[in-house]
Amino acid sequence: MNIVVILKQTFDTEEKIIIENGEVVNDNAQLIINPYDEYAVEEAVKLKEVHGGEVTVMSIGPSEAESALRTALAMGADNGVLIENEDDLPLDEQGIAKILAAAIKKRDFDIILGGNMSVDNGASQVGPRIAEELGIPHVATITKLEINDSFVKVARDVEGDLEIIDSSLPILVTAQQGLNEPRYPSLPGIMKAKKKPLERLDIEDLDISEDDLQPKSKIVGYYLPKKKEAGQILKGDIQAQVKKLVQLLHADVKAV
């Protein structure tokens, strides 16, 4: 089975986000595999362990993104592909999807896995857009995946409930929390990852027109959420608390 995993390098979720002049400052920030993409890598390795085959991990980014791919290789993936964007082209989800789809078309694949969303922008668009570019079915936010020959059964999260979907290969799925528990790279895995093949591509190598990469949307600025005001603790008997609460909702919040 030929398995492709698309992943993104993002801020460590423990990092303190600093914004200056409407831009995120990432100097000296710790970068990791997008947490949702870790579920995709883990599921891909599990599929390989059951069905055999090969896992290819793929990402777009600067040369620093190699570290995320090497981590995925240490988890058990077989080879990596880094599509370098050293010119820092202003790519939106459409452009990213077109680039990844063009790279995937050049290789055999049975299933493509990715994270449900990236924690830095939460758009949840790249995976489904790639599937549309490739003309294959896609299912998002999956929490269970079973493959039997060429048939696929997935369970997906639908606002607290589960939806069961049957489909066939090839297919693209995006992983949600609960699909699995990603493994930590072992020391032998880390050592082996240093020797595993990692192909580097330029966007120009993929025969994509400049018009296709023109952003259809753009980020106009970033800002931190307002600090929450301290809450109030109402005291007294229940009737007094209810009376005070209604008064606050009416006078301050203007909710009633």
What are the pLDDT digits (tens) for 107-144?
A: 999 999 999 999 888 889 999 999 999 999 999 999 99
Confidence of residue 21 (pLDDT cuts 50, 70, 90): confident
- Residue 9 has a pLDDT of 93
Q: Where are the beta strands (DSSP E) in 149-197?
A: 151-158, 161-168, 171-175
Summarised one tens digit per residue, pLDDT across range 209-255 is 888 888 888 888 888 888 887 778 888 889 888 988 888 888 877 76
Instruction: Say how far apart CA 256 and CA 1 lie, in whole Å.
Output: 60
φ and ψ at residue 56, rounded to 5 degrees = -110, 125
Which residues on neighbouring strands pair with residue 199, listed in sequence order? 81
Q: Which residue has the tokens 């192909």?
A: 199
- Identity (one letter) of the amino acid at 70? R
Q: For the residues 87-97, what does the mean pLDDT come to?
A: 86
Query: What is the spatial distance between Cα 234 and Cα 217, in angstroms, rounded to a whole number?
Result: 46
Give the whole-number percent of the chain exceeding pLDDT 90: 61
Distance CA 69, CA 79 (A): 9
pLDDT confidence band for 256 (50 / 70 / 90): low
Closest to 76 in 3D by CA, of 171, 192, 174, 195: 192
**Among 4, 55, 3, residue whose Cα is nearest residue 196:** 55
At residue 230, the pLDDT reads: 79
Element (DSSP H or E) covering residue 113 = strand 111-115
CA distance 2 to 15: 35
Buried-exposed string 143-169: b where 16+ CB fall within 10 A, e elsewhere: bbbebeeeebebbbbeeeeeeeeebee
> What's the topology of domain 2-213?
Rossmann fold (3.40.50)
pLDDT for 252 equals 76
Q: What is the average pLDDT score of the chain? A: 90
pTM: 0.86
Distance from C-alpha of 227 to C-alpha of 225, rounded to nearest angstrom = 6
Backbone angles phi, psi at 55, to 5 degrees: -115, 125
What are the structural domain ranges in the chain? 2-213, 226-256
Per-residue model confidence (pLDDT) at position 17: 78
